[in-house]
Amino acid sequence: MYSDKVMDHFQHPRNVGVIENADGVGTVGNPVCGDVMKMYLKIDNDVIVDIKFKTFGCASAIATSSMATEMIKGKTVDEALELTNKAVAEALDGLPPVKMHCSILAEEAVKSAIEDYKNKQK
């Protein structure tokens, strides 16, 4: 059902944790499945220098959170905004159709944290 990459990111998630005094924080959830993701960004000179997440959810929710953080760490804010749920799913060698909503949550969590960062810059 799950690819080896999904299982690896589920069993050994990258960038788990909290960033104190984060420059941007985004929280998203899906009330239907109960998954909740929280992303924390540390940004220096418009580059994401650190990113952490806390996810309450299924294997796919944890794996997509982990992969999304890996995909945008070191990128500029504008580059990170181009992240799509499809790219996250493809990087994990696919997700079961009933779990694609997890990749959507990962994309939304990243964008929510960036939106929070941009609002704080105003």
pLDDT digits (tens, 9 = 90+) for 20-51: 999 999 999 976 768 899 999 999 999 999 99
* Short-list 25, 37, 42, CA closest to 67: 37
Supply the CATH classification number for the domain 4-121.
Answer: 3.90.1010.10
For 76-100, the pLDDT digits (tens) are 999 999 999 999 999 999 999 999 9
Calculate the average pLDDT of the chain.
Answer: 95
**What does the domain layout of the chain look like in residue ranges?**
4-121
Helix (H) / strand (E) element for 96: namely none
**How many other C-beta atoms lie within 10 A of the C-beta of residue 76?**
14
User: Which ranges of the chain would DSSP assign to H, the alpha helix?
Assistant: 4-11, 59-72, 77-81, 85-91, 100-121
Residue 89 to residue 38: CA distance in whole angstroms: 19
Q: Please tell me the predicted confidence (pLDDT) of residue 1.
A: 84
What positions carry a catalytic annotation?
33, 102
